[in-house]
Structure 1
Amino acid sequence: MNSKPWRIAVTGAAGFVGSVFLRHVAELGIPGIEAVSIFGSAAGDIREPGQVSQAIAAMRPDVLLHLAAIAAPSAARADPSAAWHVNVLGTLHIAQAIREVSPNTRLLFVGSSEAYGGSFLTSPSPLAETAALLPRNTYAATKAAADLMIGQMSVDGLNAIRFRPFNHSGPGQTPEYVLPAFAQQVARIENGLQPPILSVGNLEAERDFLDVRDVVRAYFQAALPDAVVSAGTVLNVATGNPVRIGRMLSMLLKQAKVQVEVQTDAAKFRSNDIPRASGDPAAARDLLGWEAEIPLEQTITDVLNFHRARS
């Protein structure tokens, strides 16, 4: 008789990171390990505690990777109520359901480096996980609140690991984010769909960029049966090497097939923007054996080609 497979359930499985995670697990094809949406083929809503509890009770996964969120800062700013309901109450529903109906499930909570906020201004960079959470926008505040909540519930016995990923991109990410926003415009210019003018915001900010395919490897390492990470552990997912957004744009424009004029749009600047943000990846390296592998140049190429194929 075959033993029960090690099942990794995912919230937000249809989203950008969730779909990359499911594809990663499928491509690895490790016997006895499977990754599925917590809601199966149905559309679930983590704002509904009954739906969440029923889904978790029915599946009783070994691991639950919680990715479902309003993930774009612009979307959270536009609808703060929805952001708080999804990112905080939705996370509470997940954690409570695990505690009540599937207490052996390991929860992997995906927060955000945005939660560090003001610590990037006052603490040495790259930041370690011990830095204070000092959010400076709505999205960051919701992620910080959920992060602290899961930390407190871990003290009370919830088997949870908290991730704080830094900026990550890859093919399939929406143009609400900086790299696909640039790449989509370049692809449209190449195909004659817009004038050869690239509209940009703040190019001086420095960010710790990763490829989403590296990020999901970190989550997968923590989801494995033999992962040795204590409940309550917090892990940055970062490179420790920030890159100026203007430099990333220059790398992209070197791959463009046409000449492009870069035009600054003041409306795209954020008044509370952090000049420099990077994270210390030492804990993830030490506990998971993980480190970023895909060079930024490759990520840029893949994102640009993704938009070329769709413009």
Structure 2
Amino acid sequence: MRILVTGASGFVGRRLVRALVERDHEVVAGVHRAEVTFDAPVICRYMNVLEPDTLVEVLRQFKPACIVHLAGQTLVELSWSNPVHTIQTNVIGTMNVIDAVCHAAQQARIISIGSSEEYGISALMGVPLTEDSPCSPQNPYAVSKFTAGQLALQMAQKNQLELVHVRPFNHFGPGQGPGFVISDFISQIVAIEQNRCAPFVKVGDITVQRDFLYIDDVIHAYIQLLEHEVPNGFYNVCSGVSRKIEDILSYLILQSKVTFEVKRDANKLRTSNVPFFVGCADKIHAATDWTPSIPFHEGLLQTLDWWRVKHSKRE
């Protein structure tokens, strides 16, 4: 199957591209810079979701059977400092992708990547969130993903497109940059191990519970959704398991080669936070038989090892 991946050079995009090639799919990688390279045989093309002509040109040339739309602004913190950029990239960008599909590749199935952040304070109900749970987003990033998903499905219905909007919960793994809780912890710990900073790790609220998946499980879920015939709609990608952030940090402390102090940093605290935020994956399991398979702590160790190698190469 020929598959177009927007945002292919990002954390998720790179691993998705490699996994698709390993499954014998032909991949067209939409990238922002011509010099981007991949560790798999792919076709690279410049695409900018805010430049509609670039989208239409690639779609007309390659006529993909499926599009995985990953391109976007992914950081909650950045969405507060630059909400206009976030809305333009995530909402207008998504609309441009779908409009380009309508003009140049109407047969393509679209996998639109949203976020569990769309549910927002509905998590205060204290139960695993399903696709039928109400959405009450609490930051510009969450609003942008919620809006993009709603508009995408409406445009798909109007234009008779195949489209699913995925809401992945917290995910982590090698290649993810700082700005996300596990990569923040690990990057700081490894920097201390390498004598690159003072021996303390800055944290936010570590008493909360969250739902985490290792990146390869997330990738597998996306592939299952594009390889199966599934109805249009919303799909959670999550573990269904609640993990206290404090417990994750405690495990990483045990794996560390050095001792350090944990310090609470007010800059890492969310303006609106909920104590329990966990999803339910029954819908995607029923549609595709997908279920997570990577043990959580195994994923932590692989991520820790990756950061150690990354830092050692800077010597």
The TM-score bracket by the shorter chain reads: over 0.9
Alignment of 1:254-265 (within 5 A): 254-265=254-265
Alignment of 1:3-82 (within 5 A): 6-28=1-23, 30=24, 33-38=25-30, 40-82=43-85
Q: Is the 8 A contact 2:45 2:58 kept in 1?
A: no
CA distance in 2, matches of 1:118, 1:196: 35
Decide which of 163, 167, 171 is 2:166's aligned counterpart: 163
Residue 188 of structure 1: how far off its partner (Å):
1.1
CA distance in 1, matches of 2:190, 2:126: 38
Q: Secondary structure at the match of 2:106?
A: coil
Residue 271 of structure 1: how far off its partner (Å):
1.8
CA distance in 2, matches of 1:124, 1:287: 26
Q: Please, what is the CA RMSD of the aligned residues?
A: 1.3
CA distance in 2, matches of 1:262, 1:164: 32
Name the amino acid aligned to 2:206.
Answer: L
Q: Is the 8 A contact 2:94 2:148 kept in 1?
A: yes
Q: Secondary structure at the match of 2:276?
A: coil
Decide which of 142, 151, 154 is 1:152's aligned counterpart: 154
Residue of structure 2 in register with 1:3 after alignment: none
CA distance in 2, matches of 1:26, 1:60: 18
Structure 2: runs of 5+ lacking an equivalent: 32-42
CA distance in 2, matches of 1:290, 1:187: 33
Residue of structure 2 in register with 1:248 after alignment: 248
Whether 1:86 and 2:78 are equivalent positions in the alignment is no
Residue by residue, what CA displacement relative to the aligned partner does 1:59-96 show, whole Å, maximum 9, x if unpaired? 11000000000011112222111111110000001111
Residue by residue, what CA displacement relative to the aligned partner does 1:89-121 show, whole Å, maximum 9, x if unpaired? 000011111112111000000100000102112
CA distance in 1, matches of 2:263, 2:116: 29
Whether 1:96 and 2:95 are equivalent positions in the alignment is no
Residue of structure 2 in register with 1:228 after alignment: 229
Whether 1:185 and 2:188 are equivalent positions in the alignment is yes
Whether 1:217 and 2:220 are equivalent positions in the alignment is yes
User: Are residues 220 and 289 of structure 1, via their aligned partners in 2, closer, same or farther at CA, if it must alter by over 3 Å?
Assistant: same
Q: Secondary structure at the match of 2:68?
A: strand
CA distance in 2, matches of 1:43, 1:306: 29
Name the amino acid aligned to 1:191.
Answer: Q
Name the amino acid aligned to 1:36.
Answer: V
Q: Secondary structure at the match of 1:41?
A: strand
Q: Secondary structure at the match of 1:36?
A: strand
User: Are residues 172 and 138 of structure 1, via their aligned partners in 2, closer, same or farther at CA, if it must alter by over 3 Å?
Assistant: same
Q: Is the 8 A contact 2:5 2:28 kept in 1?
A: yes
The structure, 1 or 2, with the larger RCO (C-alpha pairs under 8 Å, 6+ apart) is 1
Structure 1: runs of 5+ lacking an equivalent: 1-5
Q: Secondary structure at the match of 2:167?
A: strand
Q: Secondary structure at the match of 1:286?
A: helix
Residue by residue, what CA displacement relative to the aligned partner does 1:169-216 show, whole Å, maximum 9, x if unpaired? 000000111111110111111111122211111101111000111001
Residue by residue, what CA displacement relative to the aligned partner does 1:117-136 show, whole Å, maximum 9, x if unpaired? 02112x35101101112100
TM-score (normalizing by structure 1): 0.93
Q: Is the 8 A contact 2:66 2:108 kept in 1?
A: yes
CA distance in 1, matches of 2:20, 2:216: 11
